Structure 1
Amino acid sequence: MNSETLNRSADSIAPRALYIEVADRLRRLIQSHAMAPGEWIDEQALATQYGISRTPLREALKVLATEGMVVLKPRRGCYVAQISGGDLEEIYPIMALLEGECAAGAARRASDADLAELATLHQALEDSAAARDIDRFFDANQRFHLLIHHIAGNRRMAQMIDELRAVLKLQRHDSLYLEGRLVASLEEHRMLMAALRAHDAEAARATMQLHIESSRRALGG
């Protein structure tokens, strides 16, 4: 067995980083609202509860901060992210415009290979919706939108959208539990896929904007 094979073997059995496991646990607590929006996170208590030092805990919180699930406040600690109705009113219209432009760009630029990859992700949406697996649907939805951003080819626009989506991550996830929202979201994705396959930029833009606005209305706006 050569050194390259040994290195590959070592990589395949390397233990998962502790902070990633901690981030997964905290993410589940936040998504289930066991840790409420706006709640202060007691780092010392959590470190004691999990039997770990505060170093991996803080690394985990940094991961969640980049996802928009927690907010790190200098000299005040870490809090579960909390979004007001006013924040939603400001953010969603901007996101609808930017996402709509990305969808239009993707419709114009998508290759057959791009469309095949989108179709695979769309099938994951169909399958997870049929199983009523909200977490899997949300993950597939994230990857579907990220691929549209990539195909559109506007790096700065994609970065702005990513920042907005991170801020709204918990709200977007929770909206899928609201009555009728999962079915409506899936139908909107079907319409969007049809527009992308037809390379119809205007239909893709309008459908994406409808999709984002529908998510906002589901939250009570």
Structure 2
Amino acid sequence: MADPIPLRGTSLHDGVAARLRTMVFDRELSPGAFIDELALAEAWQISRTPLREALKVLAAEGIVELVPRRGARVIELTDADAEQLFPVMAMLEGRCALEATQRASDDDLLHLRRLHDQLERHAAAHDIDGYYRVNHDFHSFVQQLAANRWLDRVTKDLRRFMRLWRGRQLQLPGRIEASINEHRVLLDAILQRDAARAERAMHDHLMAQLAALKALQRREKKQKHRA
């Protein structure tokens, strides 16, 4: 359980909701697992009221589901969810890349280079967790550069669900090397101010993630069957 660090912010339940999101995205709370409200309230030294309010917020976001008489459970995405969600995100993030390329300043491009350099280092070290974190920052920054509030709204909403996989596809042998190559193509397109190529590169990058996730799942099923 998380340390009993004081929760501060605009309201107590907002702080609790933020911490619960982090625990879900970091898989401290596993997909399909019920949330132990009593244990968390005790660990965080709060009453169960703000915790329950926070869980309602996460339920509205679709991250948890409220089960009558049993409490809140972290949602568990299916293979069908992946098949439907990744293509949608590929379109949205592709559009983000296109608009970001059109609007990015020289300072913005410098920041993207720095993020990419971090990705290169994590890829070289085969540091999957580090790569995943910086990859999230990179994609989020491209989304920010697009500066399209409508695109930002829907992309940000669906990105929450993408984070539930927490880059699992990076565990597929050879995937991190393929991913960094895809990022090189994407970065080059953005730096060259080729918006159409950046859109294609981002779209293809997301679809490659889906292909890798499916390949990893097939591999795990074979290994389980052999065991």
| TM-score, length basis structure 2 | 0.75
Tell me which residue corresponds to 1:3: none
Q: CA deviation at 1:77?
A: 2.5
The answer as to whether partners of 1:178 and 1:218 remain within 8 angstroms in 2 is yes
1:73 corresponding residue in structure 2: 66
Which residue matches 1:36? 30
Q: What is the identity, as a one-letter code, of the residue corresponding to 1:198?
A: Q
Q: Which residue of 2 aligns with 1:173?
A: 167
Question: Out of 17, 32, 46, which is 2:7 matched to?
Answer: 17
> Letter of the aligned partner of 1:192 in structure 2?
L
The whole-number CA distance in structure 2 between the counterparts of 1:158 and 1:24 is 23
Q: Which aligned pairs between 1:1-221 and structure 2 lie closer than 5 A?
A: 17=7, 27=22, 31=26, 35-48=29-42, 50=43, 52-53=45-46, 54=48, 57=51, 70-73=63-66, 75=68, 77-220=71-214
Change beyond 3 A, Cα 1:62–1:123: farther
Please give the alpha-carbon distance, in whole angstroms, between the structure 2 residues aligned to 1:140 and 1:62.
30
Is residue 96–residue 209 contact of structure 1 (8 Å, CA) maintained in 2? yes
Conserved 8 A contact 1:67-1:167: no
State whether residues 27 and 64 of structure 1, in contact with CA within 8 Å, keep that contact through their aligned partners in structure 2. no
Unpaired runs of at least 5, structure 1: 1-14
User: What is the SS of the residue equivalent to 1:168?
Assistant: helix
Indicate if the aligned counterparts of 2:59 and 2:65 stay in contact, CA closer than 8 A: yes
Q: Shift in Å at residue 45 of structure 1?
A: 3.6
Instruction: Give, in whole Å, the separation in 2 of the partners of 1:81 and 1:117.
Output: 34
Call closer, same or farther: CA 1:25–1:153 in 2, change over 3 Å. Answer: closer
Answer whether contact 1:125 1:140 (CA < 8 A) is retained: yes
1:83 partner SS:
coil
The two structures have a TM-score, normalised by structure 1, of 0.77
Alpha carbons 2:6, 2:44 under 8 Å: kept: no
Q: State the AA in 2 paired with 1:202.
A: A
Q: Unpaired segments of 5 or more residues in structure 2? A: 216-227
Q: For structure 1, which segment, 162-171 or 189-198, has the greater mean C-alpha deviation from structure 2 after superposition?
A: 162-171
* Secondary structure of the structure 2 residue equivalent to 1:73: strand
* Equivalent residue letter for 1:124: Q
Contact 1:129/1:182 (<8 A) preserved: yes
Aligned residues: 204
Structure 1 residue 21 displacement after superposition: 9.4
Contact 1:67/1:169, CA 8 A, preserved across alignment: no
Residues of 2 paired with 1:36 and 1:182: CA distance? 24
Q: Using the aligned pairs only, state the percent identity.
A: 41
**Alpha-carbon distance change, 199 to 29 in structure 1, aligned in 2, over 3 angstroms:** closer
Partners of 2:95 and 2:25 lie apart in 1 by 31
Distance 2:17 2:127 in 1: 23
